[in-house]
Structure 1
Amino acid sequence: MSSIPFVTAPADAAERRAVKPVVCYPVETLPVPDMATLQRARETLTKIDEVTVPPREGATFSVPKGHFFRILSIDGPQVGDLNLWNANDLTERFFSGKTRALHATHVTTGNRLWSTLPNLRPMATITHDTLGWYGFDEFGGSVHDVIGTRCDPYTNRLLSGGDYHHCCHSNLTRALAGTKGMSFAEAEPFVHDVLNVFMCTGFTADTHQYFMKASPVRPGDYIEFFAEIDLLGGLSACPGGDCSAKHSSDVAACYPLKVEIFRPDMDLLKTWPFPERNAYVSPE
Structure 2
Amino acid sequence: MKDHPAAYQASQGGALALDAAFYDRIAAETAGRSLVEQFTIPIRTGRAWRVPAGHVFRIVAVEGPQVGDLNLWNAEDPRERFWASRTRQLQGAHVSTHDRLWSTLPFLRPMVTITADSLAGYGIDEYGGRVHDLLGTRCDPYVNQMLSGESFDFCCHSNLTRAVLPFGLTEFDVHDVLNVFQCTGLNQDDLYFMRASPAQAGDYLEFFAEIDLLCALSTCPGGDLSVPLWGPEARDPLEVCRPLGVEVHRLDPALLAGWSPPRRAAYRGGHGLRLAPPPWAR
The counterpart of 1:259, out of the listed 243, 246, 261, is: 246
Q: Report if aligned partners of 1:238, 1:247 keep a CA contact under 8 Å in 2.
A: no
Deviation at 1:61, TM superposition (A): 1.4
SS in 2 for 1:169: helix
CA distance in 1, matches of 2:229, 2:246: 21
The counterpart of 2:68, out of the listed 75, 80, 92, is: 80
Q: What TM-score do you get using the length of structure 2 for normalisation?
A: 0.88
Q: Report if aligned partners of 1:214, 1:244 keep a CA contact under 8 Å in 2.
A: yes
Q: Report if aligned partners of 2:52, 2:212 keep a CA contact under 8 Å in 1.
A: yes
Deviation at 1:22, TM superposition (A): 5.0
Question: 1:113-192 alignment to 2 at 5 Å?
Answer: 113-177=101-165, 179-180=166-167, 182=168, 187-192=170-175
The counterpart of 1:45, out of the listed 28, 33, 37, is: 33
Q: What TM-score do you get using the length of structure 1 for normalisation?
A: 0.87
Deviation at 1:46, TM superposition (A): 1.7
Q: Report if aligned partners of 2:57, 2:206 keep a CA contact under 8 Å in 1.
A: yes
Compared CA separation, residues 138 and 20, structure 1 to 2 (3 A): closer
Compared CA separation, residues 273 and 267, structure 1 to 2 (3 A): same
Deviation at 1:270, TM superposition (A): 2.9
Match for 1:203: what amino acid? L
SS in 2 for 1:197: strand
Deviation at 1:279, TM superposition (A): 1.0
SS in 1 for 2:80: strand
Match for 1:202: what amino acid? G
Of 188-197 and 270-279, more deviation after overlay is shown by 270-279
SS in 1 for 2:120: coil
CA RMSD of aligned residues (A): 1.8
SS in 2 for 1:133: helix
The counterpart of 1:198, out of the listed 159, 164, 181, is: 181
The counterpart of 1:275, out of the listed 262, 274, 281, is: 262
CA distance in 1, matches of 2:61, 2:229: 17
Task: Report % sequence identity.
Answer: 52
Deviation at 1:138, TM superposition (A): 1.2
Matched, 1:223 2:197: no
Equivalent residue number for residue 236 of structure 1: 218
Deviation at 1:20, TM superposition (A): 7.8
1:241-284 Cα offsets, whole Å, 9 max, x none, are 10112458453421110110001112321311420111101223
Match for 1:72: what amino acid? V
CA distance in 2, matches of 1:245, 1:155: 18
Equivalent residue number for residue 104 of structure 1: 92
CA distance in 1, matches of 2:8, 2:217: 29
The counterpart of 1:213, out of the listed 195, 210, 221, is: 195
CA distance in 2, matches of 1:202, 1:20: 17
Equivalent residue number for residue 91 of structure 1: 79
SS in 2 for 1:170: helix
Compared CA separation, residues 76 and 162, structure 1 to 2 (3 A): same
CA distance in 1, matches of 2:76, 2:39: 20
CA distance in 2, matches of 1:247, 1:108: 26
1:129-181 Cα offsets, whole Å, 9 max, x none, are 0000001111010000111111000001111111110000000000001x21x
Match for 1:257: what amino acid? L
Structure 2: segments with no counterpart, 5+ residues: 231-235, 274-282
Structure 1: segments with no counterpart, 5+ residues: 1-17
CA distance in 1, matches of 2:256, 2:97: 19
1:174-212 Cα offsets, whole Å, 9 max, x none, are 0001x21x4xxx60010000000000000112x111000
Compared CA separation, residues 85 and 216, structure 1 to 2 (3 A): same
Deviation at 1:60, TM superposition (A): 0.8
Equivalent residue number for residue 278 of structure 2: none
